[in-house]
Structure 1
Amino acid sequence: MTIPKRPADIYLRFLQLADALRGLPSLPPLDPLEERVLAIVAKASREEERLSVRDMMGKKELGAPATVHSRLTSMREKGWLILSDTEDARRKQVELTQAALLYFDKLSNCMVQAAKQG
């Protein structure tokens, strides 16, 4: 007798595929806080919202401003984020790099693959 598939099986398969994707050498790995920062930047980008370094440092859920600033610096060095100029030279807009966008494309493919196998 076969065990029926549960919706949770699709999600668990996605997590397995996503973990394998994170092991690829395309971009250096992120720590959990950097993953949250990446998600916030991606969401803002998707919603076509501007997000400055100051905006990110003001997000209390990410911790102390100095911690957020150091993570943004780290993520720039790792190739996940770029800072773009705005009309105010003192403000920089946080954006995803092409490599980060490709990473999200690959994650999306993992979701589709997991759903098909489910």
Structure 2
Amino acid sequence: MTTPKRPADIYLRFLQLAEALRGLPSLPPLDPLEERILAIVARARQEEGRLSVRDMMAKHELGAPATVHSRLKSMREKGWLMLTDTEDARRKQIELTQAALLHFDKLSTCLVQAAAQSDRVA
């Protein structure tokens, strides 16, 4: 392995480690739009915000509401997301599954590992 010489090398090492996660048997892979949706749901969770199916479908940057809805359904079937009830039975809250949280834990480990490798070389 080459030694990191620039801060960008840490990020590139992280990408390499994260890519290796894709080969592990866990959740089925996501397409690029599903990855964007997953990131939005994760950020909402981190900020302790609420995100309903309707909220997600209203995000124009994700495309047509029908497309977003089909991706949410796909992500539920793949095990990345789950829907929970709210006070209004017609609205469903989007939540990460335990498997998705574990995936983020693994990504975090990759980031820490990439940074630690850089610290050892510096």
TM-score, normalisation: structure 1: 0.96
- Residues 117 and 3 of structure 1: is their aligned pair in 2 closer, same or farther, counting only changes over 3 Å? closer
> Does 2:35 match 1:35?
yes
Q: Which amino acid aligns with 1:109?
A: T
Native 8 Å contact 2:86 2:92 kept in 1: yes
RMSD: 1.3
- Residues 15 and 87 of structure 1: is their aligned pair in 2 closer, same or farther, counting only changes over 3 Å? same
Q: Which amino acid aligns with 2:108?
A: S
Q: Is the partner of 1:50 in helix, strand or coil?
A: coil
* Runs (5+) with no aligned partner, structure 2: none
Match of 1:22 in 2: 22
Match of 2:69 in 1: 69
- Percentage of matched positions with identical amino acids: 85
Match of 2:46 in 1: 46
* Runs (5+) with no aligned partner, structure 1: none
Q: 1:32-82 CA distances to partner (integer Å, 9 max, x unpaired)? A: 000000000000000010100000000001000000000000000000000
- Residues 3 and 102 of structure 1: is their aligned pair in 2 closer, same or farther, counting only changes over 3 Å? closer
Displaced runs of 4+ in structure 1, greater than 3 A? none
Alpha-carbon distance, 1:117 to partner: 1.0
Alpha-carbon distance, 1:97 to partner: 0.2
Match of 1:82 in 2: 82
Partners of 2:95 and 2:67 in 1: CA distance:
18
Partners of 1:3 and 1:25 in 2: CA distance:
30
Native 8 Å contact 2:4 2:10 kept in 1: no
- Residues 4 and 46 of structure 1: is their aligned pair in 2 closer, same or farther, counting only changes over 3 Å? closer
Match of 2:109 in 1: 109
TM-score, normalisation: structure 2: 0.93
Q: Which amino acid aligns with 2:99?
A: A
